Structure formats: structure tokens, C-alpha cells
Amino acid sequence: MTVPLTKVSVARRQLTTAIELFFANRDIVSIYSLAANAWEVIDELCRHAEVSSMSEQTRQNVPDGKDLKRSYINSPYRNFFKHAENDAEAALEPIPTSQVESVLFLATEDYLRLNKRAPIQLQVFQVWYLAKYPEKLDPAVAGELATTIQKTLPDISIQTHVEQLARGADLLAQALCDPEILADPRTEAASE
């Protein structure tokens, strides 16, 4: 019997694949496309479920006249990757890694807030991102979590990007084989 595709299952699969590709240091265009697609669906699902999302909090800090989706997620990269009718000869500078990481984090954090559980890939990315950017961790919840994150990936913020990705890939490989994490009720299969 096949399981029907739902909005949340498709977003979860796209985001999980984007994170796997990210830690494998694969094609940044594909990673961004998958992450942005997943984010858009998760963002709408959070809004529909009235979940207080990271994206909604981010919108409060977007300058007047700008929109999170149109000005920061879709433009210029996502729209460029999807359309060519008006600009067939156009070119863009390479997408900044920090922008890809930010979209992955927004989608991951919103997914966790929406679903209250997540595939291991999302859990590992969240830890990796917060270890790399400890200043992004909310001081109100930072205490024990910050200590755990720093113990898990110490000194990651001072490593090269390639080294950081390798550490994330190693952590993901370990977590995918950890029976305790796999059995945790907050862990779900990527393709559920």
C-alpha cells in the first residue's frame, strides 16, 4: 500500500534531502531550491495552524517595504532558478552559503515548531547551525541547550566551511545509527 503525499510529508522530504545534500557539500542551487520549497509550504502550514513560527518572528524584523518571502527567499535566487521568460540571458553572482544556511534553519525551526518532532537530519542541522552561530540561540532558552550544543560540536565556528560540513556529516551519520535517538518519540522517519 502506498502512502499518499501530504503537504507536510513533501516539505519534510524536501528539507531532509536538502540537509543531506548540504552536509555532503553538493550543489548549492539544488539545496537552496529544495530548502526554499520546503520553507514556503512549512511557513503556510504554520500560519494555518496558528503556530508561532521563527519565520513570523523574522518578519517582525524585516525593514518596511520588504517582505521575507519576496525580498529575501524568492529574490533574486529562487525566482532566477525557476523562470527565464523575461531574462533568458541573465546571470547572478553565486548564492551566499549564509543565505542557504538561513533558509535551511528557518524551515527546520518552523518544522519543529509545527510538528513537535522531526527526522534526525533536521535535528542535526539545528544543532549544527546553533553551534556555528551561538549568537542566534535565544538567551531565554540557551542555558543547558547551549552547553549541550557546544559539547557536541566544540569550536565549529572557527573551522573552515568544508570542515564544518564534514563535522555535520559525521554527526548525522552517528545520529542515524544511534538507537536511543531513533527510538525517541521526537524523532520521525524522513519519508513517513
pLDDT tops 80 at residue 157 = yes
Q: Tell me the pLDDT tens digit for each residue of 49-99.
A: 999 988 888 878 877 887 777 767 767 777 777 777 777 887 878 899 999
With bands split at pLDDT 50, 70 and 90, how would you rate the model's confidence at 1?
low
Q: Which of 96, 150, 100 is nearest to 128 (CA)?
A: 150
Domain boundaries, the chain: 7-183
pLDDT value of position 92: 79
Average pLDDT over residues 161-186: 96
- 97 burial via Cβ count (<10 Å: 0-12, 13-18, 19+): middle
> What is the CB neighbour count within 10 angstroms for residue 82?
11
Q: Contact 114/45 with Cβ under 8 angstroms?
A: yes
- What tens digit of pLDDT does each residue of 116-154 get? 999 999 999 999 999 999 888 877 777 778 888 888 999
CA angle 146, 20, 149 (to 5 degrees): 10
